[in-house]
Amino acid sequence: MRGPLLLAGALLALMLGAMLAKQVAPGSPLAAAQAVLSQARSLGWTGSLVLGGAQTLVALSGVLPAALLGVAAGSLYGLAWGFALASASTLLGAWLAFALGRSVWRPMVARLLSRRRRLQDFDARIAQDGWRIVLLLRVSPVMPFSATSYALGLSAVSARDYMLGTLACLPALFGYVGLGTMASAGLDVSVAGGKARALLLIGGAAATLLLTIRLGRIAAVVFGQPADALQIRPAEVQVEPRS
């Protein structure tokens, strides 16, 4: 029980931090992000901890648009260090959200699935696709980043496949950091920003189409066959023990 409680406590602390940020810079998410950026500038290199914590909070809770802090990281620290900081913080937030969903709520979901063989088999087949499903979810705009992390934590997808598929979010993040780096150098980013948005829309649409097709095929197999033909039996459900 200690591990899940620590994760829940960390999430609560981050949520309280988000509430405090809104009090410091009320009015809009942009105002809150500008306050974080101003604070990071005033702290010099120590500000990287401020920005890294904010990026982790974004990935964990979805309080602010992730693109906004990616641009801020590039503006403050340049392409190399800015991307390293933003990507590490984003992956940390994604892992915390997944770990919280997996350790606290997944056992309950597994027990519910054990009484619904078709849903149990659907969950198992999603896990077999593993990182491919995660990759498509990360590129598709169907679900917010943090909501996707928690949902995958509730599924049977392995932690390895989850983190491998989550790497698909990094190219877009690299683009946002690059825009911030260009803006800090005084370059016009309107054209580059427009091209980046177009690429994201095209990639997101393609990923959504592929995701819909794949999930539709899995659902057709699972729900289109007799219950006694399903591959997974209720007794085979694995409920991960809590640490």
**Predicted local distance difference test score (pLDDT) of residue 108:** 86
pLDDT exceeds 80 at position 78: yes
**Predicted local distance difference test score (pLDDT) of residue 65:** 75
Is there a domain that residue 155 lies in?
yes
Could you tell me the residue range of the domain that residue 146 belongs to? 2-236
Residue 141: CA count within 13 A, CB half-sphere? 12
Nearest residue to 184 (alpha-carbon basis) of 74, 45, 86: 74
pLDDT digits (tens, 9 = 90+) for 98-114: 999 999 888 888 888 88
Give the residue with greater pLDDT, 190 vs 164.
164
Tally of domains in the chain: 1
> What is the percent of the chain where pLDDT is above 70?
74
Is there a domain that residue 40 lies in?
yes
Is there a domain that residue 241 lies in?
no
For 13-22, 115-124, 129-138, 143-152, which range has the lowest pLDDT when averaged over its residues?
13-22
The CA–CA distances, whole Å, from 118 to 13, 29, 47, 159, 168 equal: 38, 42, 50, 23, 30
Is there a domain that residue 243 lies in?
no
pLDDT digits (tens, 9 = 90+) for 11-56: 445 444 544 444 444 444 445 555 556 666 666 677 788 788 888 9
Is there a domain that residue 142 lies in?
yes
The 3-class SS string of 41-102 reads HHHHHHHHHHHHHHHHHHHHHCCCCHHHHHHHHHHHHHHHHHHHHHHHHHHHHHHHHHHHHH
Is there a domain that residue 152 lies in?
yes
Give the residue with greater pLDDT, 95 vs 39.
95
The model's pTM is 0.76
Tell me the two tokens of residue 172: 């877009």
Is there a domain that residue 242 lies in?
no
